[in-house]
Amino acid sequence: MKFKWLYLITLFVWIGKDVYAQSYTETQKTVPTDRNKVDKFGLAVALYGSYAAIAAPLQDDSSKNPVLREIGSVYVFEKDSLGNWKEIQKLSPSDKVQQDEFGHSVSLWDSTLMIGAPFQNLDDTSGNSKGNAGAVYCYVLSDSGQWNLAQKIVADDRRAGQNFGWDVALKGKRMMVSALRDNWDANRRNNLLAAGSAYFFEQDSSGRWVQSQKISASDRKANARFGFAVDFSGNYAVVGAPWETADTTGSTLLTKAGAAYFFAQDSVKGWQEVHKITASDRAIDDQFGYDVGLFNDQLIVSSPFKRNISIGTDKAGKLYFLNNTNNVIIETNNFYASDIMSNCKTYYGLSIDIEHKRAIVSSLSCLDSNGNTINGFQLSRAGAVEIYSKDSTGWNYSHTRVASDQAEGDYFGAAVAMHRNMVLVGAPQEDHDTAGRNFLRDAGSAYFFEANCVKNAATDVQFACDSFAWNNGQVFYASDSSAQDTLIDYYGCDSVATLQLTVGSNDSTVVQRGDTLTALQNGASYQWLNCDSNYRAIAGATAQTFVAPLNGNYAVEISNGFCTKVSDCIYVSITQLEEIETSLKLSIAPNPFKESLEWQWEGAEALHIAIYNLQGQLVYEALQNPGKQQINSTAWPKGLYILRFQSKETQGAVKLIKQ
């Protein structure tokens, strides 16, 4: 991810989890082939897929006369088919100058690598020198496997001392870059010393990176260090300002208490600040916002200088987990280091990263991975990382990892990065090569860790009508309880799933006889639908047989246990809606009607009569013997009704009007 400056009062010293709680195991320690003292290899790291970028931002270039001091380099490693990480390329720009600190920040995504050089003087044409204006170098992986410089990127309002490239976050075709000591706001006005800013870039159709927006804090202040850390995910972004003094209301000022600013991207207005975030237990010199991480709706913010009052430890450090729900930010958990001791300043939260349901946080722990001293001694600033995982209860501590060759002053954890099942940890003040020999003071090293997958067994219970297509593409037409499939989770760990499938049947065939529709499936639940009204359910029409009250298209939803189907729509045409032939021996009066309705049936057999409203609801039904019948219609709403009649002699329908 990146490294940070650790500010110590008036001095500064260079230091630069989920439902699956698998532990991580160190798989490899790596150093560059041309390692040298005080290179600080591992001060910034990035990880994506089978590639890793490890920076040595204080490396000198001794090939020049005079020697170019602290120009920096970045080493690219690739994971081979055997799982070994091998150095494949060393990157250094051609326009390097003294103290560029190329590799101060790195970010890797797919086949693109962004490298920050916040003390670089030259612009994108390698001219127009402005001291410490800063730049970001974009490298792209070619088809031949080489990482080539594609573009040098600078701010469109570059000025001396901006430190553009202090931190960088790359996700797909978008990038975020901070300018820690920028004096000017998003509108390039209101000069405030080292207030800080950040920039968004997007990659255009030609592959060029183009600045899209500059942002700054809405309550910006001098020396707030807005942009000390940046990250974004989707349409949300977070910016740390660890030297900010004011709380969210601006009424309480606490020196270097720190804050983080949350932005959301609007399709019209662009990136807009929606929240200023401060710690629930903020205090002087906490430096909340020292590092930040964002993945989907999960946000983490570190406060490595936080004092643990309960045990009296200065600079213990603390980590805060927050959740974003529709732009509402809620602090859900906060943690001190699990191995904290009263006389061990851990600076917990020195570097953090988050991906999916896991997070990693580093500290300058002086203990081993079990929180114990080493041979009875504390190893000052040896360093450690802790893994957190998120489940239905929230974020929880999982385990601690230290270097296999842990030693005092290594600064293991000065930079961390995680991707899928891999973790990369930088130790920029580690002194030995991979064999533990060839001492070179602060040459630096980096350590790869890989998650130990725990195979899980699961049963996939499914119910289906007629057939079922499983995730692996296999199609079943009958019940099955023996099929198995291997599922790979987000972290590359596999689980074996056994299918428990019940396949049911449901006949959705409908038979039409005139205006009567009948579902062939017996013993089911039925709901007749009006296809012409967006498949509206017809109230009361829940029998296996349905008599259509009006011309139109009708279907039925048939539920047979867990199996539900909707039939095809069938058009029904109703005839004889206006007049009744006198020869039918049926008379109805009055029509229109009000409180009552009367009919006379003079046929020889009984006559079935059913009256429907226009919603298809049955409002009256009777078997009428020859003779006269009167019904009370007072409660019927005014409107149009359909009377349907049927006997052995005749059948038909007539329109009725209630006034």
Per-residue pLDDT band at 111 (split at 50, 70, 90): very high
pTM of the model: 0.73
pLDDT for 618 equals 82
Question: Would the pLDDT of 18 be above 70?
Answer: no
Q: How many CA atoms lie within 13 A of 323 on its CB side?
A: 8
194, burial (CB in 10 Å: exposed 0-12, middle 13-18, buried 19+): buried
> Which superfamily, per CATH, for 5-451?
Integrin alpha, N-terminal (2.130.10.130)
Which residue, chain included where needed, has tokens 């809405």? 218
- Helix or strand or coil: residue 317? strand
pLDDT tens by residue, 475-507: 999 999 999 888 777 777 777 889 999 998 889
Per-residue pLDDT band at 584 (split at 50, 70, 90): low
In CATH terms, the fold of domain 582-658 is: Immunoglobulin-like (2.60.40)
> Boundaries of CATH 2.60.40.10 in the chain?
510-572
Question: Would the pLDDT of 114 be above 80?
Answer: yes
pLDDT for 12 equals 29
CA 540 to the chain's CA centroid: 45
> Boundaries of CATH 2.130.10.130 in the chain?
5-451
> Boundaries of CATH 2.60.40.3080 in the chain?
582-658
- Helix or strand or coil: residue 531? helix
pLDDT for 24 equals 92
- Nearest Cα to Cα of residue 513 among 651, 324, 307: 651
Per-residue pLDDT band at 441 (split at 50, 70, 90): very high
Choose between 618 and 316: higher pLDDT: 316
Choose between 112 and 655: higher pLDDT: 112
Lowest mean pLDDT among 19-23, 162-166, 285-289, 433-437: 19-23
pLDDT tens by residue, 186-230: 988 899 999 999 999 999 999 999 999 999 999 999 999 999 999
Residue 317: what residue type?
Answer: G
81, burial (CB in 10 Å: exposed 0-12, middle 13-18, buried 19+): exposed
CATH of domain 510-572: 2.60.40.10
CA–CA dist 88, 79 (Å, integer)? 10
Most confident region among 44-53, 592-601, 643-652 by mean pLDDT? 44-53
Token pair, residue 402, equals 């230290």
Q: What is the mean pLDDT of residues 26-35?
A: 96
Backbone torsions φ then ψ of 641, nearest 5 degrees: -130, 160
CA–CA dist 103, 85 (Å, integer)? 20
Q: What is the mean pLDDT of residues 444-449?
A: 98
pLDDT for 8 equals 32
Question: Would the pLDDT of 3 be above 60?
Answer: no
User: How many CB atoms sit inside 10 A of residue 272's CB?
Assistant: 14
Question: Would the pLDDT of 68 be above 70?
Answer: yes
Question: Would the pLDDT of 326 be above 90?
Answer: no
CA–CA dist 403, 392 (Å, integer)? 31
Please say whether the beta carbons of 30 and 45 come within 8 A: no
pLDDT for 258 equals 97
Question: Would the pLDDT of 456 be above 80?
Answer: no
pLDDT for 19 equals 39
